[in-house]
Structure 1
Amino acid sequence: MGFPKQKIYWFCQLFGWTLLILVEYLAYVLEDGFDADTLYLAVANIFLGITLTHLYRLMIRRWSWVRLPFVQLAPRVLLSVFVLALIMTMVNMPFDQIIIPDKLIDEPWPVIGYILSWGKAMLAWVLSYTVYHYVEQTRNAEIEKILLKTSIRETEAKVLRSQLNPHFVFNALNSIRALVYENPDKAQQGITQLSNLLRNSLLADRRKTVELREEMKTVEDYLALEKVRYEDRLRSRIELDGRTLFWQVPPMMLQTLVENAIKHGVSQAVGGGFVSVSSTIKADKLHITIRNTGVLGDRTASGGFGLANTAQRLELLYGPEASFEIDQEDDDPSEGPVVCAHISIPAQSEGLFRRAATAKMMSGE
């Protein structure tokens, strides 16, 4: 664990002023010999320098100078340096006229010399302190922006997760109700599947990603419920590469796309249609393909929410390394017009949200 900034600040104050004054005092001793009065003045200057620069520090912190634009900060800093140098001059000149009057005889304008001499020391201290905190403030502001942006993205992602269509729930309940007397076992199974879907939907806003195998269980429950409604008009195929089962994917994303495929594709076809989901790994990326009967124009014209949802969620989670594309394929001889959606997900499972774990830098001295 590093030293607290407060301790570092006081160490730099004591060490810096002590070194500066002692160097000048030793130069005087080597030239003119030891003088107790000069030593006392040197010690007094150390404490005076520390006091004045500390007051400057309190002032710029009190008025938040480091938050000002450079054009407003610069004149304030220069004026402060002049005032501090003037105070050091007003304190030292009367004593020097008593202790070392011979040193001032040949100086036509000693006040200017004193101000310039102390001004250099004050300028070095003031610039060092001000520039450090100005840079730190700018960096903290950038970190605040990153954290705020990350927080906003997390909030957006939570809204985008768990998008189970309420119309689907209504239709599923109606389908299950019709089975209660006709096929109680199947109705009971349908209730279990709907319960699983609702539970996963509620849990989705608590998790950024889930394993693909878990997501596919949600898709299978969804397809089973839709088959109760569409019966033979809905055909489904699922072909997953075993290497992809534990890959992390956004929760409820595939369910949303499959729902979109049925709503805007299969349900619009006179004779029904099919939905297929397949996965594989290529070039260290997970590739998921969803194909279904349908015409892409019908889907985009109806404003399919699932498409924008998927693209935005992938962008929020993985950035530009992930991709989502949807195209109209050539007509299949046996299936007719087919729409193909393709998702590519990079190896990392957290993407941009790993920034949310970045701790805010300590504000301080």
Structure 2
Amino acid sequence: METSKQKIYWFCQIFGWTLLIGVEYLTYLLDFGFQPDTLYLGIANILLGITLTHLYRLMIKRWNWVRLPFFRLAPRVLVSVLVLSMVMTVVNLPADRHLMPELFVNEPAVVLGYLLNFGKTMLTWVLSYTTYHYFEQSRNAEIERILLKTSIRETEAKVLRSQLNPHFVFNALNSIRALVYENPIKAQQGITQLSNLLRNSLLADRRKTVELREEIKTVEDYLALEQVRYEDRLKSRIDLDARTLYWQVPPMMLQTLVENAIKHGVSKAVGGGFVEVRSTVIIRDDASGGSRSNNTDQLHIIIRNTGILGDKEASGGFGLKNTSQRLDLLYGPEASFDIVQEDDNVVRADIIIPIQSDTIFRKTADQSLSQ
């Protein structure tokens, strides 16, 4: 890409200056006939014009003028045009006086005329080059800004995906430790479940989304470990629509919300409580024709639990902020998350996730046929 730009630049330089000086030389040739010295002067002017404007190019890139605001850039451009015009005048005026003395008779403002003549040429070239690089710099800066923003968002998403509450791990280990002598088989199951959770947490920063059925397995392992701790004080239920099993969801998101439900709801209830996870598909009609369109369908996940919502920031902790941020990073405004007090002692969280591809429906259909 850079090599191609260099070729275009040198072509424009050589062709532009050759055309400009060539037209002036052709005019002189028609009026006064061929003279070798004027030909040599024309060639020298081509080389001088290319050299001067190339030096300007190196200077503007070396000092990064295109990054300057307009009120600081404009004076530098005008001074550069004046200097370049003066150099061209200093070289050409003595040579023209020697070759064409008859043209300078009764010309009181020769120097000014030369400056204006070369000034127009240099101004055209300098403005063209500066404007091009100014907009190119702006475009590159915008691309860099977008890439940086994307990188930051991706980093944030990785951090959010890999969260697993260390207090839960500590409590789970204590619960398993208590089972080692009382119920070794159940202790082994607990170690396996905790291992699965830790593995999924480590893998979460490598994957943006996972299938809902895989995420639910993580939730089931988490609930099984919490069941050891809370025993009969915790009741749980998971009810999934078969159409949603292959839907892509953020990894560890539901586990975070279920953990939040137990920590801020069930654990604070005197007699314990429940956690319920349900999923369904919201079928939406195509706005243009009224027919069903898979691309407009949405996944609806509902999490209900015992608890008093109160202040969302205080009672929700990291879980609610985590969910909102991750949905926004992955799906933008097409996804939504809301949490409300459904009843006096029941909190309800609603998650809406848009479909990403028709693969979900194909997998669901294949599964239905196999059954």
TM-score, reference length from structure 2: 0.87
8 Å contact 1:295–1:328 — kept in the other structure? Answer: yes
Q: Does 1:325 align with 2:352?
A: no
**TM-aligned CA deviation for residue 137 of structure 1:** 1.7
Stretch moving more, 65-74 or 299-308: 299-308
Stretch moving more, 106-115 or 250-259: 106-115
- In structure 2, the residue corresponding to 1:163 is in which secondary structure? coil
8 Å contact 1:265–1:299 — kept in the other structure? Answer: no
Measured against aligned partners, the alpha-carbon deviations of 1:110-132 in whole angstroms (never above 9, x if no partner) come to 11111111111101111111111
Amino acid of the structure 1 residue aligned with 2:334: E
Stretch moving more, 55-64 or 110-119: 55-64
| Matched residue count | 344
**TM-aligned CA deviation for residue 228 of structure 1:** 1.7
Task: Give the corresponding residue for 2:314.
Answer: 301
Measured against aligned partners, the alpha-carbon deviations of 1:230-265 in whole angstroms (never above 9, x if no partner) come to 222222222222332222222111100000011111
The list of structure 1 runs, each at least 4 consecutive aligned residues, that deviate by more than 4 angstroms after superposition, is: none
**TM-aligned CA deviation for residue 136 of structure 1:** 1.6
Measured in 2, the distance between the counterparts of 1:226 and 1:252 equals 16
8 Å contact 2:305–2:346 — kept in the other structure? Answer: yes
Task: Give the corresponding residue for 1:208.
Answer: 208
Measured against aligned partners, the alpha-carbon deviations of 1:62-93 in whole angstroms (never above 9, x if no partner) come to 22222222111110110110110111111111
Task: Give the corresponding residue for 1:66.
Answer: 66
**TM-aligned CA deviation for residue 9 of structure 1:** 1.5
Aligned sequence identity (%): 78
8 Å contact 2:309–2:315 — kept in the other structure? Answer: no
8 Å contact 1:264–1:298 — kept in the other structure? Answer: no
User: Within 5 A, what are the aligned runs for 1:1-365?
Assistant: 3-282=3-282, 283-297=296-310, 300-302=313-315, 304-331=317-344, 337-348=345-356
Amino acid of the structure 1 residue aligned with 2:219: V
8 Å contact 2:264–2:316 — kept in the other structure? Answer: no
**TM-aligned CA deviation for residue 307 of structure 1:** 0.7
Measured in 1, the distance between the counterparts of 2:106 and 2:258 equals 94
Which structure is higher in RCO with an 8 Å CA cutoff and minimum separation 6?
1
- In structure 2, the residue corresponding to 1:340 is in which secondary structure? strand
Distance 1:299 1:320, change over 3 A: closer
Task: Give the corresponding residue for 2:285.
Answer: none
Measured in 2, the distance between the counterparts of 1:298 and 1:2 equals 56
Stretch moving more, 162-171 or 185-194: 162-171
- In structure 2, the residue corresponding to 1:208 is in which secondary structure? coil
- In structure 1, the residue corresponding to 2:305 is in which secondary structure? strand
Amino acid of the structure 2 residue aligned with 1:342: D
User: Mind listing any 5+ residue stretches in structure 1 that lack a counterpart?
Assistant: 332-336, 350-365
**TM-aligned CA deviation for residue 303 of structure 1:** 5.0
Measured against aligned partners, the alpha-carbon deviations of 1:40-63 in whole angstroms (never above 9, x if no partner) come to 211111000001111111222222
Measured against aligned partners, the alpha-carbon deviations of 1:153-195 in whole angstroms (never above 9, x if no partner) come to 2222222222211221122122222222332222211110110
- In structure 1, the residue corresponding to 2:164 is in which secondary structure? coil
TM-score, reference length from structure 1: 0.88
Measured against aligned partners, the alpha-carbon deviations of 1:306-339 in whole angstroms (never above 9, x if no partner) come to 11111122222222222110001134xxxxx211
